[in-house]
Structure formats: structure tokens, C-alpha cells
Structure 1
Amino acid sequence: MLPNNLNTGPRVARYLIFLSFFHYNLVTGSSKKDLQSDDAMNVASNSQLDLRQIVFVIQSQSNSFHVQRAERLRASLLQQATDLTENPPVVLFLHSLSDNEGDWSILPMLPHFSKTFGKNSSWLVFLEEDTDVKVGELLGVLAKFDGTKEWFLGKPLHDEESTIIHHYAFAENPPQFKYPDFSAGWALSVPLVQRLAERIRDEPLKSDFTIDLKHEVALYIWNQGQGLRLTAVPELCTELQDSPRAPHCATTLSAPAPACGEAVGKEDVFVAVKTCQKFHTERVPVVKETWEQEASLLEYYSDYADPSIPTINLGVPNTERGHCGKTFAILKQFASGSVPETKWLIIVDDDTLISLPRLRALLGCYDASEPVCLGERYGYGLSQGGYSYITGGGGMVFSREAVLQLLQSGCKCYSDDAPDDMVLGMCFNALGLAVTHSPLFHQARPEDYARDYLSHQVPISFHKHWNIDPVAVFNSWLREGAPTTAPHQPDKTPKTEL
């Protein structure tokens, strides 16, 4: 029971902050004196912190399913705030802050955050749609850090080996660099936001690729060692809500993958596999041994008609890269009536490993009557009016409506060897249709991702047969009944471009 003189308003929040702070010290064995003497952490208790000093930014998306998830999270935050105090926090949807589709890359938005919230706020807390937050506990965590100083807080991830998705950064010692797991939530103090915003105004962001946002944000803040490193916060967690380890957490996850009821049927998904003659004997047998059996409707599209597979020759010569001509021929084939009419089309490479049952379960969350383009989202030139696209290696999923709108627009390849996924991204951007990101699709191999990052996922796809046994990888990670946290060993082979 609360003391009688602390039963209303902001005093309740401050009292709960004190309790959370006391509980943290009790669990970790640290005293207040210990914390104050820890110069390396520079931690300070701030009993005046209240919810009005926190801006929650939900990393939302415009697709209707994702809007509903973001709205549920916002409602939870505001209800908890009402239970704690009469002063609710600001809760923002990232996708709705401006008309710039690239705002999901966050860095271009920092000047806006600095200008809008720099005077009256102490923290920006970023949350993914599936992050569950215990608001009182989170207040207690943030109260331990001096909000007048620069802080970059999160659950740290690290690479065990240098990886192509991070441009082989820190190749000599990959674990030295830490970057946040967005699923656990992460936070920037407003003084840090203000300094970063000034830097962006003085030195415009590079118009370049955005591949792994969490790593690239951390690199920008680190600034070649002249900036700030991530501070690990153990209460920012990716444990499931019902985990025995969850009670100490201020953030948790509700589930490793969205659960939306009944999966779409096999007959509702048409699978198009892109291949070419030189890979008919090398890659196609892997598809047949692993995931082809889970497809009801599947065709192999090639530059050569091989009846033993069988493959279909689309009349488009094979190119060493890009494959835009082949992909657009597949889209036209899907819409022409030449194949069974289905709600969904998935286009994959012949070296993509994918779980079709998991994909069909995920598609149960989406409305096929909407123009949906789903997969792992990359970006190009997002800070300067660029566009987002679904990277092809992890699998590109389209609703029939998306394919029809794309073809009706007249958008097309500028050459057969143009990068198909990027051209599609430009086309959808021109139509005003945002692509939809799922972290369960992967452009690279399991070895290329932080182990802790994959440990709380039920992955849908991986890509590349390079220096791995693809059948073993499929059996370990993607076959039904396989554990979702299969270990992988660091790859010590020389690095080359894939």
C-alpha cells in the first residue's frame, strides 16, 4: 500500500521510481554509494524524472496490420501512464511524422526531434511494435542516468565475425563494437539528440544504402571513435513475457513471431524460383531436398527449358547480376492467367532457404486485398528523398493487388540486368506504396547475424550457399520442428564479396 501522502499524481510516479531503483540495487547487489562511485558509468539517480520528460517513438509502419499493432502499444503505454500519473507522455508513430517514406531510418528525423522536444524533454525512447513495456520499471531505469548528459542506451548485440551486411566492419575484432537490439527498445538522451541534430545540419547525411539500421545508427553515433558507444542496460530485454527471467525486465517481447490465427492455405501462395542453366544441377537440387515439398504451386523460371526439373524459359537471357528483366517477366506471368490465380506471389532466388509454413502463418496477418510488398526492407538515399525496397535474396512477397497496381502503372526495367529489387522499390515509391518490413526474412546466412538477435526469432528465410552446407542450415533453422536457436560457428575463411 502506498503512503497516504503519495496516493495521487506525479508523486506516485516518483515513489514507483524509488521502488524500482531500490529493487535494481537489491537484485544486482549494488548500493547507492557504489553507483555514485562508478565514474565509468556516470550514473545518477534523478527523482524528478516523470513521464512528461519522455517521448516514446514507436517504429511503426503504414500497413494496416502494423498500424493496429502500433495502436495497441500506444494504448498500453497511455493506460499505464494513467495508472501512474495524471501527466501522460508523448507517444509518436514514426511512419506518420512526415510524408518522407524514409523516416524509418531515424537519423533524418533527429533535427525534428531536437527542435520539437529539445526544451522540455529528457529522453527519446524508441520501441518496435512488438516491444512490451512496463512503464513504471522503465521510468526507474532511466532515472538512474543523468538526463542532462549524453546517453545511448540499449541491449547490446555484437558480431562474432565480420559480415557483409555490416560491410566487414571491425574485421580485426568484430565483438568490440556493440549496437542495440531494437526489439528490446533503445533510448537517446535529449542532449545527445541535440548534438547529433547539429551534426546532421552541418554535415548532411550521406545518400547511401541502409542495410542494417541498428548497426548503422550505432556507427553514426560512435562517429569513428569520436562519439558515444552504446551503454548496456540489462533491464532492456528480449525475453518473452512469461519467461522466468522476465521479472527483472522493463521491456519484453510478447511472442517471437506474430500470431494472427489461421495461416493462409498452400493454394493461396504461388512460388516463383529464379534460376539459370548453370545452376540447375548445383542449386535446384537443394531446393527440392529442402523446402519445395511445402509448396503446392511452384515453378522454376530460367533461361533454358529443362524438362527434368522442369524449368520454364521466359525468353529473357540470363544476366550476371540484376535480373530485372526476368523478375518483371515473372510478374506479368503471374497476372496473365498463365498460372493458377492466387492471392500471394513469392519470388525467391535459387539459393534462398525458406520456411513456407512459417511464411503462410505470417501472411495470415495481412489483408491480401491491399497492395502488400513484404520482406526484408533496405533503403537507398533515404536522407535525400530516396526509396525503400525489399531485398531479393530473403524473398519478395507480393499480394495480387500489389502486382496489378505495379503493372498497370507502366513502371518497368531500364535494362534486363538492372537490380530487380531496387527497381521494384522505385516503382512502388512512385506509386506512393510503402514496402512492409519483417525482420524474419534474411538476405544473408545465419552466420552473418548476431546470435542474440536470432535467438528471439522464428526466422522465415536465409540466403546464400556460400561456405555453408545449405541443407544442414535449412534443417537446423527452418525445417518444421527445428530449434530456432541453432548454434553456428564463426567462419574463419577469407572474406570476399558475395
Structure 2
Amino acid sequence: MFLKLRILVTLIFFSISSIIALEPSDLVFIILSQEESYNAAQAQLLETDLIKQSSVLDKVPHKIILTHDLDVFGSWTIVPLIPYLASINVTAQWYVFCTENTVVRLSKLLKALGQYDVDIYRNLWVGHSLYDKEPTIIHHFAEHSKKFKYPNLQSGFAISKHLFNSLVKKAGDGTVNSIDFSVDVSYEFSKFVFNESKSARLTHLPAFCIVATEDCATYPRPFYPCDKLSAKQNVYVAVKTCTKFHKERLDIIRKLWIRHAEHAGFFTDQLDENLRDGIVVPKTDQGHCAKTFAILKYVAPILDERKLDWLLIVDDDTILSLSRLFQLLTCYNPENSVAIGERYGYRATKIHGYDYLTGGAGVVLSTALVHKIIKPGVCNCPVETTPDDMFLFGVCLAHLGVKVTNSPLFHQARPSDYAEAYLASQEPISFHKFWMIEPEEVYEQWFEDADLVMFSKNKARKRIEL
């Protein structure tokens, strides 16, 4: 009798929890937006679409917050947003975090989240879960198994009200401020939730998708160029190298991707038989600030003389697709001070912290910004061996009032260092490091087809013009 009663109670419990009717007003959307005009416009389009979807449902619109409008240090790391939202009395059944390129189907999202009664499932957060197959450098080689999951940020994730409220005090008590480096915000936020709650683990919810299907409530919107590409390339590619890597690395990138660049230079400490046409810059064994600053000064007049809009600085073990990079740049105005790449943070949630672009993933600077950086006395390296990306593409840009623009298509590490599902949702622009991989295979798998299509068309067009 007791067993039958228990089964009946369980069935009633699940039937009740499966019919929770959520309204748009039960959700708060936090869009992790950026200031650069293209990125801000994407976030505003998402906001407009969510409001439109609410009106179609004839329901009260939900609260929508664009984080680039807020004065919150390190808002992109998510944790600082929790006490901020609590401080302005933003309340909801669910807090939905997403990026500017997340597509949201509101009715399907309400249905998916309506499976859960947040007063019963009190320690719940949901999304498309990712995991590491093996320890990876971007997660500090942490020994996590498949049991430790973190959300695919571009698919969005949702935190129930009770879990959110339990994190408010923890997020505001200085715990997060003890973290020096922010690298992978999704993974680091998942660690924060796990450590500061009662071991709350992300629940995988299939409605949060990697690629679009009919049943998806959310999914990452693929990137589309904003304009047609000109037959004339408008980017100068600067490759940082040194004598010991001339033979080992330059032959590889010459064969793979840099052959497609019309404007390029190899910047090294010394010329030899493996590099006779390079440009000699100061030798630095670490940090490379003086080396990179010399590259900026050397290239600046070339950008003007050739009327080029952009400078791309890469390492000699960066693997990338120039065609995809050129397409991305159609969405940005080179007359502005623009810096694009993969964003990391150093004490990003503190008033004296800063964001910076990682060098290995590739850093793109507008010509206008290059000229600002090299002005005398503005961004001189403290010492020759200061980390170039942290200073020139972090501290210096902050001093100039320029916020870095993060693109998830740039990658500081190898493909094997990222979750397979994460990479399946995008068409990457770059990877970094030749360590324990075959760079030719990486280029062939991820970039070759895109480059061949674009650059073969360009060659054909030029022949016709001639």
C-alpha cells in the first residue's frame, strides 16, 4: 500500500511539474553585449525580436538587459552581474543569459523551462552542456571528468530564482575578485556555481541547441558577412617569429595560409637562409612588448601608403583562415578605433583590472588605432619584456579608452583543447600552437575549403579584369 501511494505521489509530482505555465514576464534576459557598433546592433536586434515575440503571444514583455549599457566591471565574466541585478531589484522565475548572436524562440523556451517548478527544483540551472575529454590548457589542465559540465554560452543558459538568490551574496563577497585571469567565462562561471552553491551542476536541456533544428528554443546564429568583399585586400599581416623557428614553422604557414595574403611581412630578430626577406626588430626572449611595438611603428606608414584599413598580428604558429577574417571585417568600420580578437581578462572585475586580446589567436587593429598606439609617450612599453598582449592590447587600449571586441571565432589554443560541440556551432577563424598536432591537418580540416573558394574566385576575377 505504501509503495502504491509513493508511486502515485511521484506521478502527481511529475505531472504538476510538467504543466507549469510560464509567462514572458517570468523571465529576465541578460544579453552579454559589447560596445562596438556591429556587436551592439546585433544585441539590439535580439532585444527587438524578443519584444516582438512577446507581443505576438499577447503577453507582458519580459525584462531585457544589455550589459554594454551597464557600469559593471567585468560584466562579461557574468559573476559581477548577479549582485548588480539583485541591487536593482530585478526578479524573475528564471534568469536567462545569452550572447548577442543567440537566437531565441520565446514560446519554445517558455515550454522548455516550464518543465520545471522552480520552487521544487531549487538548485537548478540549464543549458547545452559541454565537457572536456581531457585536461586542457584553457581550463588550466584541471582534472575534471565528463561529470563536470559547463554551458555553451552562444546557446544561452537559464538559472532558476532560488539558485540565483543563493549566489547573490557569494558573488558580491569578494570571492570572484581573487581570480587573476579570466579565460573561458563559461567554464569559470560553472566552477563558481558549483563551488559556491550546494554543488549545483548544469543540467543539459536539449532545447538549448548547438545547431538549429525545429525543436530548438535557442541556438547560435551563424555569422554572415555584412558586405561583399573587394577584390583588393585591405589587411596587412604581420607574423612574429625568431631565428630558431624560421625553418620549423615558417615553411608550414607559407604553404598553408599566408600564401593568400597580398600584404605581409615576417618580423624576426635575425635574417638567415630560411628567411632572407624578413624585417629585423628588437630581440626579446619573453614578453615581446618592444618587438611588437616596433612592428606597429614599422607597419603604420605602410598602412597609409598602401591605403590599407587593418593590421593583423599573429604568431608564427597561428593557423587561420584569411577568407573568414576578411568576411568578419566587413562588419566593422576601420575609421573607428577597433581591436578584435579573443578576449581574456586580468583582474577584470576590479577597478584597476583590464581586458586584453591574446596574441596567439591573432589580433586585428584598425589603422586608425595603430596610429593612436604609436604616438610618442602614449603606450611605450614599461620594459622590453613586458607581455605584449597584456600591455599593448590591454593596458594601452584601456588608457586610450578603447574597449576590446571579443570574437568567439578566434582561438588561443588548438582544436583539441575545445569541446567538440562548441566548435560544431561555428566556423572558426584561428587556432594557435603546433604542439602535438599536425598543423597541415588542422588547416585542411577547418580552413582550406573556405580559403580555396574565396581566393580562387578572386584570382578568376582579376584575370577577367586584366
Provide TM-score, normalisation by structure 2: 0.89
Q: What is residue 411 of structure 2 aligned with on the other side?
A: 442
CA distance in 2, matches of 1:407, 1:326: 13
Distance 1:328 1:482, change over 3 A: closer
**Alignment partner of 1:394 is 2:361:** yes
1:353 aligns with 319
- Choose which of 379, 388, 393 in structure 2 pairs with 1:420: 388
Aligned in 2, Cα 1:239/1:337: closer, same or farther, shift over 3 Å?
closer
Task: Kindly provide the amino acid, as one letter, of the partner of residue 331 in structure 1.
Answer: L
Correspondence 1:474 to 2:443: yes
Aligned-residue sequence identity (percent) comes to: 38
Residue number in structure 2 paired with 1:11:
none
Partner residue in 1 for 2:205 = 233
Q: Using the alignment, how far apart are the partners of 1:45 and 1:482 within structure 2? A: 48
Shift of 1:116: 2.5
Q: CA deviation at 1:94?
A: 1.2
Letter of the 1:249 partner, please give it: C
AA partner of residue 143 (structure 1): G
Output the aligned Cα RMSD. 2.5
CA contact (8 A) 2:323 2:450 kept: no
Alignment equivalent of 2:267, drawn from 301, 323, 327: 301
- Structure 1: distance between partners of 2:15 and 2:254: 57
Q: Distance in 2 between matches of 1:39 and 1:463?
A: 53
1:452 aligned residue: 421
What is the distance in 2 between the residues matched to 1:420 and 1:42? 58
> Would the aligned equivalents of 1:302 and 1:311 in 2 still touch at CA under 8 Å?
no
- Unmatched runs of 5 consecutive residues or more in structure 1: 1-32, 241-245, 484-498
Q: Report how far residue 259 of structure 1 moved.
A: 2.6
1:328 aligned partner: 293
**TM-score normalised by structure 1 residue count:** 0.83
Instruction: Identify if the C-alpha distance between structure 1 residues 117 and 146 changes in structure 2 by more than 3 Å, giving closer, same or farther.
Output: farther
User: Secondary structure at the residue paired with 2:210?
Assistant: strand
Give the partner amino acid of 1:345: L
Match of 2:186 among 191, 195, 214: 214
Give the residue type in structure 2 aligned to 1:236. F
Secondary structure at the counterpart of residue 313 of structure 2? strand
Partner of residue 145, structure 1: 116
1:170 aligned counterpart, secondary structure = coil
- 2:463 maps to what in 1? none
Please state whether the residue corresponding to 1:382 is helix, strand or coil: coil
- Cα 1:143/1:336, change in 2 over 3 Å: same
- How much does 1:35 deviate? 12
Please name the residue that 1:195 is paired with. 166
**Per-residue deviation, 1:115:** 2.7
Partners of 2:406 and 2:7 in 1: how far apart?
43
Within-5 A mapping of 1:99-138: 100=73, 102-117=74-89, 120-138=91-109
1:59-78 pair list within 5 angstroms: 59-78=32-51
In the TM superposition, residue 337 of structure 1 has moved relative to its aligned partner by: 4.1
Residue 318 of structure 1: CA displacement? 3.0
Alpha-carbon separation, structure 2, partners of 1:88 and 1:187: 18
- The 1:36/1:450 distance shift into structure 2, 3 A limit, reads farther
What residue ranges of structure 2 are gaps of 5+ in the alignment?
Answer: 1-5, 453-466
Q: Is the 8 A contact 2:18 2:114 kept in 1?
A: yes
Distance in 2, matches of 1:351 and 1:335, equals 24
Aligned amino acid, residue 116 of structure 1: I
